[in-house]
A and B are shown apart, each in its own frame.
Chain A
Amino acid sequence: MKDARAPWLRPVVALIISAFFLVPLYMILVNVFKQGEEITQSPSSLPVPPTLANITGLLSRTDNLFWASLVNSIVVTTLSIILLTVLSAMLGHYLARSRSRWARVAMLLLLAGLMIPPQVILMPVTQVLRAFGLMTTLQGLVLFNVGYYIPFGVFVFTGFLRGIPIELEEAAAIDGASRTRIFWRVVFPLLRPATASVLIFLGVWIWNDFIDPLVILGPSQGTTITTGIYRSIGQYQADFGTVFALMFLATLPVLIFYLFLQKQFVKGLTGGATKG
């Protein structure tokens, strides 16, 4: 299909709509390179001349807030999404291929948890974590992330598995392969696009999560980058340049991560049906 009559129309309309959409992003970006006074007086002007003071000031903070919380965020997010991918792929496969009544009940329970706001169950979660002695530990936060986000992983994987013919697994089963072997050798490689979606989604969500690390890690165990941003608003509320810089740096890793997995990501979400 070609835009026969007015080939210039589509790009122009696309650019105009995108321009409106872009204004808030532009506001963030220009203010990273402006100083406090300039931001309050003319928040939307171009940074002329641009300054790197916000970024350098942040990176050289004596209390190491940025680097320390960056390390925490990377550790928590990486561990959580790897565990989540493995566990939810296995659980998703198990549930998608099982026809027992209990599997349905389990699926239903999982989907009910898909949309629960974390704030609503956070206090009892801390009680559970304390009972296990995992409160204020990274392990506790990672395990909570796994439990809390597993419904989404299962949702994506079961959706994707529907588009994968079962004959492959059957063939392997006839050859006498164990279920474990079938899963890792045959099924899991086929799940790659769905895995990309799960990694991206949960990576973004866990990276940007603010209240769970705040409460579970507690104040004495360091902080993640998102909690760090929120905390620094107090200090920089009259000078948002630093907050914008912090956020700009905090977003870069996830953005790069997304660009890296972009192609796979979309395939995984819309699964089998997009194959036509």
Chain B
Amino acid sequence: MAVDVKTTPVPASATLRSRRPGRIPAERLRSFAAFGAPGLLIYACFVLAPIAISFGYSLTNHNPFNPPTKFVGLENYRLLFTDSEFLTSLRVTTILTVIVVIVPNVAGLGIAVLLDRKGWLYNALRTVFFTPMVLSSVVVSIVWTRMLDDEGPVNQALRALGVDQPPGWLSDPRLALYSIATILSWQMLGFCVVVYLAGLQGVPTELAEAASIDGAGPMRRFWSVTWPLLAPALTINTVVLLISAFKAFDHIQVITHGGPGTGTTATIAYNVLQTGLVANRQGYASAMAIVMLVIIAAAAAVTLRVLNRREVNL
């Protein structure tokens, strides 16, 4: 399992231990109790235990408004994979995640390269780009709802440019999801810019100059010298983007309420809440939650594994 960050060989830590060969288990236990245990314990209480409770519910038909609760085994899971609503929400979540991971990463890199200069202008722009990140998603949602309204600035601008029938960004069932993805990407873009800028400014100028003397053009220089050194920036960006994509809930709640209609912008997280809280089918909602957690864990594992390997191979 090379998923975790610290599987990178850290030979020194082995040295640390081998130099103190007499280390007794009691002491190791003490250092675990002092350093590892407090954090892990709280994590276990507030994340692992709730997951275990959810898993328990997922094996029942639990409905707080319709007792008694009965054990139904894996029935909920069987139903899930024939439930078109759930399968659609899987698709929605996947599309949203892919867009939100790729777009800000790519655009962010481009803008970072553009802003990679010294001077007050670039410093100011860097701060501006970061601002959406600190805004509450509720506010971002309200503003963008107005922006994309048929009479909002976007469509007004399109009309001014001569487009007769500008698209219904949030009302067209085919477009709504992409609009939401754009909004999320907008909110995350600046963060990627800032992180890539930090990466770019860490690239030693001697390296690029050396490559330039060797006759490499700007594109080649970028791909062979700069890009590999941006690996840690790519890792952190991708992880943070994955987090925001999977957690996207407020935007959907405030902008479209899972609509327009059915099967357009309702993500798994949104469906879990609707099924559990509105339809009261908490056993079934728990099964959805567990499937979602498995998918998230798998996505996290694969991503970190791939990205870390790149970093290691630097």
Q: In this complex, what residue of B is CB-closest to A91?
A: B39
Flag if B152 contacts A229 (CB, 8 Å): no
Flag if B36 contacts A94 (CB, 8 Å): yes
Flag if A147 contacts B43 (CB, 8 Å): yes
A72 within 8 A of B: no
Question: Known contacts A158-B6, A274-B201; is A255 also within 8 Å of B43 by CB?
Answer: no
What A residues does B43 contact at CB under 8 A?
Answer: 109-110, 113, 147, 150-151
One of B83-91, B137-145, B172-180 at the interface: B137-145
A248 to B105, CA, bound (A): 28
Question: Binary interface profile of A, 111-130, with partner B (CB < 8 Å = 1, else 0)?
Answer: 11111111111011101100
Q: In this complex, what residue of A is CB-closest to B289?
A: A120
- Give the contacting residue for A111; candidates B3, B17, B129, B198; CB below 8 A: B3
One of A47-55, A61-69, A163-171 at the interface: A163-171
Flag if A117 contacts B269 (CB, 8 Å): yes
A92 to B105, CA, bound (A): 27
Chain B interface bracket (under 10, 10 to 19, 20 to 34, 35 or more): 35 or more
A148 to B80, CA, bound (A): 27
Question: Known contacts A95-B6, A111-B301; is A251 also within 8 Å of B134 by CB?
Answer: yes
Q: In this complex, what residue of B is CB-closest to A240?
A: B142
A153 to B42, CA, bound (A): 14
Flag if B53 contacts A148 (CB, 8 Å): no
Flag if B299 contacts A109 (CB, 8 Å): no
Looking at the assembled complex, report how far the CB atom of A87 sits from the nearest CB atom of chain B, in whole angstroms.
Answer: 4
Give the total number of A-B pairs whose CB atoms are below 8 A apart. 305
Chain A interface bracket (under 10, 10 to 19, 20 to 34, 35 or more): 35 or more
A111 to B7, CA, bound (A): 13
Flag if A109 contacts B289 (CB, 8 Å): no
Residues of B participating in the A interface, judged by any CB pair closer than 8 Å: 1, 3-8, 10, 12-17, 19-20, 31-32, 34-36, 38-40, 42-51, 53-54, 57, 111, 114-115, 117, 121-122, 125, 127-140, 142-144, 146-147, 152-153, 186, 189-190, 194-195, 197-199, 201-205, 207-208, 229, 231-233, 235-236, 239, 242-243, 246-247, 249-250, 269, 272-273, 276, 282, 289, 292-293, 296-297, 299-301, 304, 311, 314
Residues of A participating in the B interface, judged by any CB pair closer than 8 Å: 1, 10-11, 13-15, 17-18, 21-25, 27-28, 43-44, 87-88, 90-91, 93-99, 103-104, 106-121, 123-125, 127-128, 132, 143-144, 146-148, 150-152, 154-156, 158-159, 161-162, 165-167, 169-170, 173-174, 179-180, 183, 204, 208, 210-211, 226, 229-230, 233, 240, 243-244, 247, 250-251, 254-255, 258-259, 262, 265-267, 269-276
